[in-house]
Amino acid sequence: MEVLPILSAMRRNKVGAILVAVQMAATLAILSNALFIIQQHLALSSRPSGIDEANLFAISNQWVGTPPDESALLQTDLAALRALPGVIDAYATNSYPLTNSGWGDGADLKPDQTKSSTHMARYFGDEHTLNTLGVKLLAGRNFTAAEVVDRMYNDQAAPTALIISRAMADSMFPHGDALGKSIYTSGNKAQTSPIVGIVERLQSPWVSGSSWAAGWVENTAIEPYHYLAKSFCYLVRTQPGQLENVLLLSQQKLFEIHRARVLDKVQTLTEARQEVYRDDRGLALILAVVCAVLLAITAFGIVGLTSYWVAQRRRQIGIRRALGATRGAVVRYFQTENLMIAATGAVVGIVLAITLNLWMVSSFQLERLHNSYAVGGAVIVLLLGQLAVLWPALRAASIPPALATRSV
Amino acid sequence: MFKYYFSLALRSLRRNVVLTMLMIAAIGVGIGASMTTLTVFRAMDADPIPHKSGQLYAVQIDNWGPADHSMDTGDKLEDQIDYVDAMALMHAHAGARQIAAYLTGFALTPANPELKPFKVDARATFTDFFSMFEVPFEYGAPWGSGDDDARAPVIVITHELNDKLFGGANSVGRTINLDNEDYRIIGVMAPWNPMPRFYDLTSSDFEKTAPVFLPFTRAIDRHLLSWGNTSCSKASEEGWEGLLNSNCVWIQFWAELPSAAAVEEYRRWLKNYAEEQRLSGRFQWPAYTKLHDVRAWLTYEHVVSDETRILVLVSFSFLLVCVLNAMGLMLAKFMGRSADIGVRRALGANKRAILAQCLIEAGVVGLAGGLLGVVLTVLGLLGLRSVLSEQILELTHLDPSGVCIALALAIAATMIAGLYPTWRAAQVVPAWQLKAQ
pLDDT of residue A214 exceeding 90, the answer is no
With CA atoms as reference, the chain A residue closest to B19 would be A304
What is the value of pTM for the model shown?
A: 0.89
pLDDT in tens, B76-89: 789 999 999 999 99
Distance from CA of B82 to the nearest CA of A (A): 15
The mean pLDDT value for B331-346 works out to 83
pLDDT of residue A146 exceeding 70, the answer is yes
Q: Check if A165 contacts B (Cβ < 8 Å).
A: no
**DSSP code for B231:** B
Distance from CA of A205 to the nearest CA of B (A): 14
With CA atoms as reference, the chain A residue closest to B116 would be A262
DSSP string covering B76-119, please?
Answer: S--SSEEHHHHHHHHHHT-SSEEEEEEEEEEEEE-SSTTSPPEE
> What pLDDT does residue B434 have?
66
Give the one of A29, A66, A264 whose C-beta lies nearest to B119's C-beta: A264
> What pLDDT does residue A338 have?
92
Q: Check if B238 contacts A (Cβ < 8 Å).
A: yes
Distance from CA of A305 to the nearest CA of B (A): 6
SS3 label, residue B57: strand
Q: Check if A261 contacts B (Cβ < 8 Å).
A: yes
B436 falls in which pLDDT band (50, 70, 90)?
low
pLDDT in tens, A225-283: 999 999 999 999 999 999 999 999 999 999 999 999 999 889 999 999 999 998 888 88
pLDDT in tens, B183-242: 999 999 999 999 899 999 987 788 899 999 999 999 999 999 999 999 888 878 888 999
Whether A278 sits inside 8 A of B389 (CB atoms) is: yes
Distance from CA of A154 to the nearest CA of B (A): 5
pLDDT of residue B74 exceeding 80, the answer is no
Selected residue with higher pLDDT from A211 and A40: A40
The mean pLDDT value for A157-180 works out to 94
Give A-chain residues touching B71 at CB under 8 angstroms.
Answer: 212, 215
> What pLDDT does residue B333 have?
85
The residues that bridge with A61 in the sheet, in sequence order, are A232, A263
> What pLDDT does residue A348 have?
95
Distance from CA of B1 to the nearest CA of A (A): 30
> What pLDDT does residue A407 have?
57
For the ranges A202-211, A305-314, B159-168, B278-287, the lowest mean pLDDT is seen at A305-314
Please name the residue ranges forming H helices in B104-245. Answer: 128-132, 145-150, 159-166, 216-221, 239-245
**Residue A92 identity (one-letter amino acid):** A
> What pLDDT does residue A8 have?
81
Which helix (DSSP H) or strand (DSSP E) does residue A235 occupy? Answer: strand A231-238
Q: Check if A95 contacts B (Cβ < 8 Å).
A: no
pLDDT of residue B433 exceeding 70, the answer is no
The mean pLDDT value for A200-206 works out to 96
> What pLDDT does residue B16 have?
79
Interface test mutation site (partner A, options B308, B321, B386, B388, max chain A beta carbons within 10 A): B321
CB atoms within 10 A of CB A66: 12
Give the one of B22, B318, B388 whose C-beta lies nearest to A294's C-beta: B318
Distance from CA of B306 to the nearest CA of A (A): 6
CA distance B300 to B277: 26
Q: Check if A145 contacts B (Cβ < 8 Å).
A: no
A208 falls in which pLDDT band (50, 70, 90)?
confident
Q: Could you tell me how many CB contacts below 8 A there are between chain A and chain B? A: 167
Per DSSP, chain B holds a count of helices (H) and strands (E) of: 16, 11
**Residue B110 identity (one-letter amino acid):** P
Give B-chain residues touching A364 at CB under 8 angstroms.
Answer: 306, 309-310
CB atoms within 10 A of CB B408: 12
Which helix (DSSP H) or strand (DSSP E) does residue A87 occupy? Answer: strand A87-93
Interface test mutation site (partner A, options B305, B318, B427, max chain A beta carbons within 10 A): B318
pLDDT in tens, A277-321: 988 888 899 899 999 999 999 999 888 888 888 888 888 888 888
B68 falls in which pLDDT band (50, 70, 90)?
low
pLDDT of residue A73 exceeding 60, the answer is yes
Q: Check if B22 contacts A (Cβ < 8 Å).
A: yes
Whether A212 sits inside 8 A of B70 (CB atoms) is: yes
The mean pLDDT value for A94-123 works out to 90
Handedness of CA B383, B385, B388, B391 (dihedral sign): positive
A199 φ/ψ sector (left φ>0, alpha ψ -120 to 50, else beta):
beta
B408 falls in which pLDDT band (50, 70, 90)?
very high
Whether A304 sits inside 8 A of B179 (CB atoms) is: no
Give A-chain residues touching B116 at CB under 8 angstroms.
Answer: 255, 262
pLDDT in tens, A322-375: 888 899 998 998 999 999 999 999 999 999 999 999 998 888 878 889 889 999
Interface test mutation site (partner A, options B324, B334, B427, max chain A beta carbons within 10 A): B324
Percentage of residues in chain B having pLDDT higher than 70:
97
Q: Check if A72 contacts B (Cβ < 8 Å).
A: no
pLDDT of residue B430 exceeding 80, the answer is no
The mean pLDDT value for B102-128 works out to 94
pLDDT of residue A399 exceeding 80, the answer is yes
pLDDT in tens, B302-326: 888 888 898 899 999 999 999 999 9
SS3 label, residue A270: helix
Selected residue with higher pLDDT from A279 and A182: A182
The pLDDT mean for chain B works out to 90
A56 falls in which pLDDT band (50, 70, 90)?
very high
Per DSSP, chain A holds a count of helices (H) and strands (E) of: 11, 12
Q: Which of residues 15-54 of A touch B (CB under 8 A)?
A: 15-16, 19-20, 22-23, 26-27, 29-30, 33-34, 37
SS3 label, residue A262: strand
Give the one of B30, B242, B306 whose C-beta lies nearest to A364's C-beta: B306
> What pLDDT does residue A1 have?
55
Selected residue with higher pLDDT from B378 and A189: B378
How much is the ipTM here? Answer: 0.87
Q: Check if A297 contacts B (Cβ < 8 Å).
A: yes
> What pLDDT does residue B138 have?
97
Give A-chain residues touching B311 at CB under 8 angstroms.
Answer: 283, 286-287
Minimal CA–CA distance to B402: which of B72, B43, B133? B43
A193 φ/ψ sector (left φ>0, alpha ψ -120 to 50, else beta):
beta
The mean pLDDT value for B173-182 works out to 96
Give A-chain residues touching B386 at CB under 8 angstroms.
Answer: 282
Give the one of B22, B117, B232 whose C-beta lies nearest to A300's C-beta: B22
A210 falls in which pLDDT band (50, 70, 90)?
confident
Q: Check if B329 contacts A (Cβ < 8 Å).
A: yes
Whether B336 sits inside 8 A of A286 (CB atoms) is: no
Interface test mutation site (partner B, options A308, A352, A364, max chain B beta carbons within 10 A): A308
> End-to-end distance of chain A based on CA atoms, in angstroms?
30
CA distance B229 to B153: 25
> What pLDDT does residue B206 have?
85
> What pLDDT does residue A365 have?
76
The mean pLDDT value for A118-132 works out to 95
B12 falls in which pLDDT band (50, 70, 90)?
confident
